[in-house]
Structure 1
Amino acid sequence: MGCALSGPGVTKESTFSEEKRGSFLEGGLDLSEETECGETPEQLSLSESQKALIQESWKILHEDIARVGIIVFIRLFETHPECKDVFFLFRDIDDLQQLKMSKELQAHGLRVMSFIEKSVARLDQEDKLEHLAFELGRSHFRYKAPPKYYEYVGAQFIQAVQPILKEAWTPEVEKAWESLFKYLAATMRRGFYTEEKTAGASKSLSSRKAGAESTPNKI
């Protein structure tokens, strides 16, 4: 699937270029059509050094985890207001200051940070990491949360943590987190579409059964 409560902008020292940001936020994470259809599992393409960079930076972020979670979603709602439609509790709140004080938003932000924390802890256990993200994608189908939003959360997380990590944020750290979120978003998408197909098959079967039961037997 946070930023400082005041929502600080990206500093001049940011390594995230305008061109790259536009591609990341608007075009998503360049996921393939096969992944969208749930046919080709994404591979976790992280080197051991990249895993170490993620783990070390997460140690710093974990100290301020609640704040990061709120920042991510405030930034998300600022840049993509339509995302609020997915959240029943927030869709009618237009005052961002009011949202910043929302206990419900803080709770949701913490849940997303918990998912990231579990993901970081499973970097050396790809089967468990895949299962975690896949099941979260399946549950998001039931929540009616479309896959396009998964990519937005990752992008906003990266933007939010740069001013928190300060000099610890490097192009190498950025690339490592980018790769992780690409993998998580792709795996969640696969889970979403798998659950969508399962629900569609179940609905079709129920309809056929209902049709058969309503059809009188002919002798």
Structure 2
Amino acid sequence: MTPDQVNLVQQSFAKVAPISEQAAVLFYDRLFEVAPSVKAMFPSDMTEQRKKLMATLAVVVNGLGNLESVLPAASALAKRHVSYGAKPEHYPVVGGALLWTLEKGLGDGWTPEVADAWTTAYGTLSGFMISEAYGRSQAAE
């Protein structure tokens, strides 16, 4: 990621943070709409899960300027996700739901440059997480 992309992700996330509860609801609603089979991996009461999502996103977004600082936590998270039933093919679906949520939350602030920055950030982190959880060959697919 370029420094400009890091700034775009951080600045745009700062605009979403005040509506984090609504953003998390939008995200999970979208995820379960496009991938209903993943709903079984989640608790019926999503309150805590939504808080965890936004807290994790905040840590990652704030750490993008020093990516190495978030990689150990991302690795641990990826390995935990395996035990929940997550598979490599879930990552692009989650990414799509995240980008859709950000587009809805940012409205006119969702520019092609912001979309590209978020796509790059998610691609970088999800590729790393897949390789940590499933091995390098899965990340390349």
Alignment TM-score, normalising by the size of structure 1 = 0.58
Aligned partners of 2:91 and 2:55: how far apart in 1?
Answer: 15
Residue equivalent to 2:10: 55
The correspondence for 1:186, drawn from 122, 127, 130, is 127
The residue matched to 1:117 in structure 2 has which SS?
helix
Indicate if the aligned counterparts of 1:147 and 1:188 stay in contact, CA closer than 8 A: no
The correspondence for 1:110, drawn from 45, 51, 55, is 51
Indicate if the aligned counterparts of 1:76 and 1:156 stay in contact, CA closer than 8 A: yes
Report which of the two has the higher share of helix: 2
Aligned CA-pair RMSD: 1.5
Query: Residue type matched to 1:76 in 2?
Result: L
> CA offsets per residue over residues 161-198 of structure 1, 9 Å max, x none?
2132122110000000001111121111122125xxxx
Aligned partners of 2:94 and 2:69: how far apart in 1?
Answer: 21
Aligned partners of 1:174 and 1:64: how far apart in 2?
Answer: 19
The correspondence for 1:84, drawn from 8, 17, 39, is 39
Aligned partners of 1:71 and 1:135: how far apart in 2?
Answer: 26
Query: Residue type matched to 2:120 in 1?
Result: S
Q: What is the correspondence of 1:202-217 to structure 2 with a 5 Å cutoff?
A: none
Listed as ranges, the gaps of 5+ residues in structure 2 are 136-141
Aligned partners of 1:50 and 1:153: how far apart in 2?
Answer: 20
* Cα distance change of structure 1 residues 151 and 109 upon mapping to structure 2, 3 Å threshold: farther
Residue equivalent to 2:138: none
Provide the aligned length of Structure 1 versus Structure 2. Answer: 135
Aligned partners of 2:88 and 2:24: how far apart in 1?
Answer: 19
Q: What is the correspondence of 1:63-74 to structure 2 with a 5 Å cutoff?
A: 63-74=18-29
Indicate if the aligned counterparts of 1:66 and 1:110 stay in contact, CA closer than 8 A: yes
Aligned partners of 1:61 and 1:133: how far apart in 2?
Answer: 21
Alignment TM-score, normalising by the size of structure 2 = 0.87
* Cα distance, 1:77 vs structure 2: 0.7
Give runs of ≥4 in structure 1 deviating > 4 Å: none
Residue equivalent to 1:127: 68
* Cα distance, 1:54 vs structure 2: 0.6
Query: Residue type matched to 1:109 in 2?
Result: R
Residue 111 of structure 2 corresponds to residue 170 of structure 1: yes
Residue equivalent to 2:87: 146
* Cα distance, 1:85 vs structure 2: 2.8
